[in-house]
């Protein structure tokens, strides 16, 4: 019944715009974004598929973990292996983990020590966020390596009138959270900063319905700071900082008899990330320049694995230092050129500790440098064309070129925009794939490459109270890196050298993802807002003809918010993921999930609010990953104060 209701709602949305996150009846024509072109532009001139999640919406829905809000985005799939803080992956339009660029205030969060160099989305909590922009489709012309699926860009609050906010909440599973943030301006200084702490007893990472009773808890401490100091009318300095430290218990024990299920273990790990940004901005008439030095340092430590008796089992450390220059030239009122150069050096070190063999250390580094140029021109203030080129040089794989083309045609008499884009994407081999014991012994790994295109339409109806969007997209990926299994020396050319490691990394797969994204946002009344979106996705391995793992063909979301008189706000979110397979061979099916969340806020006074949230109202415990638990019905309540 729940599935039928939700799919019926999604079908109603079949002409349609990015969902609740845009609060969109105020409308794409008035939404200014930065991620699509790396400069502020009206969304309806970019030609891009982009969703904006406003920070005020995150607060109204009392979202703690950012990935819970990202899941509401068309074309985006979040998979979490258990409860809060467990391994969390994000897939944009069927792309793999690590094929999405994640940014916070201009700093890349992709971890050089991770096998796929993906961002640790499980540790990303909502903390002083102004907005999140999710750009879909290959974007390597402006963002370089990793931008095959798209870009998730988190922008924190800075400047404006002085604001101080604090919140505290607690509830089911001994969950608690504290948050304190401040932002404002003081003369030449604009600032924003926040600290955040969360703890929960959690659920068993191994599904409790299989007899696992040990709760796997999670703790997180985070801080963010974002400042701009104006040295004059034309020059300013940006200093930004981001920190997060998460510690979670997890399960890595497996039964040795069929059906070989995941079981409880004392395993736990700590993830820590420091990130810093220092930039100099100069606005000299029509020419705007930015020079920045960016650095990240990450560590991940794994303890008490079920496979060994040593306390510290694995230690990973990643470093990245990045230099960026970006220039923007406003040629005239209708034309803008954006150009830049980037160079990043990545390094990693991995120490493995064993009771039954000597300590093993893996380490490596790589440098990738690139330059790009893009020009955008509007004809008659109706047709906007964008074209860009990029060239990258990598120490390991050599050179790579990327292209982007986009068009947006505004039709005022229809109150509509037609748009289309073509883009290239690539992903450099990760440091782990290059320098671990599983490196390719016979051939240098090539970058994964993708070509994608889309066409869509956005339309306003009912005097702007309805905003609708419909998009068709397709992407093909070549040279996708996979693991070549070696059970005998004859299995593959590199197996004689990698038989002891049971395999190695190789450019093997070719994949295709295509589908339709549809969304609708409506101001039903001044107090009642509705949003719907639906994604139909086909993501397949072209070599085997099988579906890519954990990519449902159908995904839908709905949200309704009612701002009643007397300071009361009520609402709900509904998310549906259709049936899919847990594995690349399509041997293990996963059932469909329907998750319903409720939220409410009551204003006690002008600056004080009580709030509450109920997650998974109907207690759908269907596994998102085979063998891993799904959080049950839970409730949290808290208080929020602002000055």
pLDDT tens string 426-474: 999 999 999 999 999 999 999 999 999 999 999 999 988 999 999 999 9
- Please count the other Cβ atoms lying within 10 Å of the Cβ belonging to residue 536: 18
What are the tens digits of pLDDT across the range 496-518?
Answer: 999 999 999 999 999 999 999 99
- Give the least confident one: 24-28, 540-544, 593-597: 24-28
What are the tens digits of pLDDT across the range 65-94?
Answer: 999 999 999 999 999 999 999 999 999 999
pTM of the entire predicted model? 0.93
> Tokens 């105020």 label which residue?
26
Q: How far apart are CA 604 and CA 590, in angstroms?
A: 44
| Position 266 pLDDT exceeds 90 | yes
- Our count of domains for the chain comes to 1
Alpha carbon 48 to its chain centroid, in Å, reads 17
Q: What is the mean pLDDT of residues 182-189?
A: 96
| Position 190 pLDDT exceeds 80 | yes
Q: What is the pLDDT of residue 2?
A: 41
Note the helical H segments in 459-601.
495-498
Q: What percent of the chain has pLDDT over 90?
A: 91
Residue 21 pLDDT grade (very low, low, confident, very high; cuts 50, 70, 90): very low
Q: How far apart are CA 594 and CA 638, in angstroms?
A: 26
Closest CA relative to residue 129, chosen from 161, 152, 149:
152
Average pLDDT, the chain: 93
The per-type count for the chain, helices as H runs and strands as E runs, is: 6, 35
**Domain span at residue 608?**
2-642
Q: What is the pLDDT of residue 605?
A: 87
What are the tens digits of pLDDT across the range 288-319?
Answer: 999 999 999 999 999 999 989 999 999 999 99
- DSSP state for residue 228 in the 8-state scheme: E
Q: What percent of the chain has pLDDT over 70?
A: 95
* Higher-scoring residue by pLDDT: 51, 17: 51
**What tokens appear for 179 in the block?**
């948050």
| Position 25 pLDDT exceeds 90 | no
**First-residue to last-residue Cα distance in the chain:** 45
3-state secondary structure of 456: strand
Burial class of residue 337, CB neighbours in 10 A (0-12, 13-18, 19+): middle
What are the tens digits of pLDDT across the range 604-636?
Answer: 988 999 999 999 999 999 999 999 999 999 999
101 touches 20 (CB < 8 A): no
For the domain that residue 495 is a member of, what is the CATH number?
Answer: 2.40.170.20
Q: What is the pLDDT of residue 344?
A: 97
Interior/surface letters 417-443, b for 16+ CB within 10 angstroms, e for the rest? bbbbbbbbbbbbbbbbbbbbebbbeee
Q: What is the pLDDT of residue 30?
A: 65
Q: How far apart are CA 108 and CA 128, in angstroms?
A: 18
What are the tens digits of pLDDT across the range 95-124?
Answer: 999 999 999 999 999 999 999 999 999 999
Q: What is the pLDDT of residue 13?
A: 35
């Amino acid at each position: 019944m729940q599935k039928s209701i939700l799919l019926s709602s999604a079908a109603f949305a079949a002409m349609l715009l990015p969902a609740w996150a845009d609060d969109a009846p105020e409308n794409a024509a008035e939404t200014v974004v930065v991620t699509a072109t790396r400069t502020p532009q009206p969304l309806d001139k970019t030609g891009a598929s982009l969703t904006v999640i406003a920070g005020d919406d995150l607060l109204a829905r009392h979202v703690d973990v950012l990935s819970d809000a990202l899941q509401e985005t068309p074309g985006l799939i979040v998979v979490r292996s258990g409860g809060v803080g467990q391994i969390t992956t994000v897939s944009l339009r069927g792309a793999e983990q690590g094929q999405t660029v994640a940014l916070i205030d201009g700093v890349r969060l992709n971890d050089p020590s991770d096998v796929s160099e993906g961002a640790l989305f499980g540790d990303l909590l909502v903390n002083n966020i102004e907005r999140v922009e999710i750009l879909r489709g290959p974007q390597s012309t402006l963002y370089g390596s990793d931008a095959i699926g798209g870009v998730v860009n988190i922008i924190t609050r800075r400047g404006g009138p002085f604001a101080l906010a604090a919140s505290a909440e607690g509830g089911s599973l001994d969950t608690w959270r504290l948050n304190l943030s401040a932002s404002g301006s003081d003369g030449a200084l604009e600032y924003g900063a926040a600290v955040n702490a969360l703890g929960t007893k959690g659920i068993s990472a191994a599904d409790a319905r299989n007899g696992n009773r040990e709760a796997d808890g999670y703790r997180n401490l985070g801080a963010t700071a974002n400042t701009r100091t104006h040295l004059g009318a034309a020059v300013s300095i940006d200093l930004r900082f981001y920190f997060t430290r998460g510690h979670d218990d997890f399960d890595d024990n497996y039964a040795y008899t069929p059906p070989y299920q995941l079981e409880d273990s004392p395993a736990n790990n700590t993830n820590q990330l420091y990130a810093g940004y220092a930039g100099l901005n100069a606005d000299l008439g029509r020419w705007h320049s930015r020079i920045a030095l960016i650095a990240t340092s990450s560590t991940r430590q794994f303890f008490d694995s079920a496979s060994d008796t040593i306390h510290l089992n694995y230690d990973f450390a990643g470093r990245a230092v990045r230099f960026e220059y970006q220039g923007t030239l406003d040629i005239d009122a209708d034309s803008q050129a954006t150009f830049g150069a980037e160079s990043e050096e990545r390094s990693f070190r991995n120490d493995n500790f064993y009771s039954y063999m000597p300590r093993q250390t893996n380490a490596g580094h790589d440098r990738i440098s690139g330059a790009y140029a893009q020009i955008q021109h509007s004809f008659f203030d109706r047709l906007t064309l964008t074209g860009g080129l990029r060239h990258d040089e990598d120490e390991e794989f050599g050179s790579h070129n990327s292209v982007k083309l986009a068009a947006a045609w505004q039709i005022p008499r229809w109150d509509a925009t037609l748009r289309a884009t073509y883009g290239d994407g690539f992903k450099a081999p990760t440091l782990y794939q290059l320098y671990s014991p599983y490196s390719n012994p016979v051939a240098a790994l090539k970058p994964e490459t993708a070509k994608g295109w889309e066409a869509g339409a956005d339309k306003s109806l009912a005097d702007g109270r309805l905003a609708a969007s419909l998009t068709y997209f397709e992407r093909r990926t070549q040279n996708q890196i996979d693991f070549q299994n070696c059970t005998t020396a004859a299995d593959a050319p590199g197996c004689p050298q990698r038989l002891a490691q049971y395999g190695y990394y190789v450019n093997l797969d070719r994949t295709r993802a295509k589908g339709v994204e549809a969304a609708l946002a409506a101001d039903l009344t001044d107090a009642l807002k509705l949003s719907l979106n639906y994604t139909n996705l086909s993501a397949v391995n072209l070599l085997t003809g099988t579906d890519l793992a954990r990519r449902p063909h159908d995904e839908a979301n709905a949200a309704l918010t009612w701002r009643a008189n007397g300071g009361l706000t009520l609402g709900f979110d509904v998310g549906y993921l259709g049936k899919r397979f847990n594995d690349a061979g399509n041997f293990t099916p996963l059932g469909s999930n329907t998750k319903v969340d409720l939220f409410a806020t009551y204003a006690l006074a002008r600056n004080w609010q009580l709030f509450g949230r109920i997650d998974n109202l109907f207690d759908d415990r269907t596994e998102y990953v085979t063998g891993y638990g799904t959080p049950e019905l839970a409730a949290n309540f808290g208080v929020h104060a602002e000055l």
